[in-house]
Amino acid sequence: MTTNKNEPPIREAVGIFFDGQHLKDALKDLLASGFEPEELGLLASEQVVARSLGDLYTRTNESADSPEAPAIAFIGKESIRETARTLGGSLFFVGTSGVMGAVVASAAVFGGALLAAVGGIVGVGVVGALVATIIHQSDAEYLQHQVDEGHMLLFVRMADSDREQQAMNILIRHCAVDVKMYEVPVERSVPTAPQPALKSAA
């Protein structure tokens, strides 16, 4: 994948949550601290979202607008009445896990690069394979494993580097584990085969 030299890569903090309430508390804290819903992303299994975040999302049978776009799995409950405010809106099908079934993500995950890469493909392990086109393959496999284990991944996109430590501190304060920074190229072109692209930032 080639990074657009005119624009810096997107940087995102990623935290792994085992408990839905801890994730919701982190969301409230992030929003209260000035982060926008469109800067927050979720990656988790459909089962876990329904079980742990059912007060934020409701299921929908809405299909994709085109065969090349992922189908919508959940819609934010607030977006039924007005502009979506929960993690930027809907959750989309982005693959499957052999253990947990369908995997869903919001549009903000990796700055939208993951959804741009999906293109209607739904297969076992596809999330890890697609994420490996965006970040280092070993990190992608680790994140796929966390989803397979039934954990939730919360992504926080940074508008500027000054907010990185603030976001990471909020995630850690609300019991997120293995909080790390990742860099994602702005250009959305994705290679056909998984290839390590970028190393995770310390």
Stated as kind and residue range, the H or E segment containing 99 is none
Looking at the chain, the whole-number percentage of residues with pLDDT higher than 70 is 75
> pLDDT per residue over 10-19, tens digit each?
899 999 999 9
| 87-108 confidence digits (pLDDT tens) | 657 888 888 877 777 888 988 8
Handedness of CA 74, 80, 86, 90 (dihedral sign): positive
- For residue 45, what pLDDT is reported? 92
Q: State the helix-helix crossing angle for 164-173 and 20-32, rounded to 10 degrees.
A: 150
102 - beta bridge partners?
A: 96
What phi and psi, each to the nearest 5 degrees, are found at residue 127? -60, -50
Q: Give the torsion through C-alpha atoms of 133, 139, 141, 142, to 10 deg.
A: -150
Calpha distance 36→63 (Å, rounded) = 27
The pLDDT profile of the chain, 202 residues, written as one tens digit per residue, is 444 455 778 899 999 999 999 999 999 999 999 998 889 999 999 999 999 988 888 888 665 555 566 788 888 776 544 434 556 578 888 888 777 778 889 888 888 888 887 765 556 677 888 888 888 899 999 998 999 999 999 999 987 888 999 999 999 999 999 999 998 876 544 444 444 444 555 5
Identify the three-state secondary structure at position 127. helix
